[in-house]
Amino acid sequence: MDFGYWILDENNQPQRVDVQTWGEWFGTIGNRSIGYTQITSELYVSTVFLGIDHQFGDGPPLLSV
């Protein structure tokens, strides 16, 4: 099954790649971090780009964060 692997380019735009390229890119956490929000003084939310297409049917890629 081909899930479709994606990375973010230098402009934070998703680009489809092969699984080896995705794995190498995914190994660097700085590439994946796209947001960091402080909710309260003790609560933070970190948003990361997973780079896997979660669309199980027709339609454009569903890229989760």
- Model pLDDT for residues 31-64, shown as the tens digit of each residue: 788 888 999 999 999 888 888 888 877 888 888 6
Integer Cα distance of 25 and 10 in angstroms: 12
More confident residue, 26 or 38: 38
Report yes or no: 55 and 62 within 8 Å, Cβ to Cβ. yes
Report yes or no: 3 and 53 within 8 Å, Cβ to Cβ. yes
Report yes or no: 12 and 18 within 8 Å, Cβ to Cβ. no
Count: domains in the chain: 1
Domain span at 7: 1-65
SS3 state at 21:
helix
Output the pLDDT for position 2: 63
Report yes or no: 5 and 17 within 8 Å, Cβ to Cβ. yes
Q: State pTM to two decimals.
A: 0.72
More confident residue, 35 or 17: 17
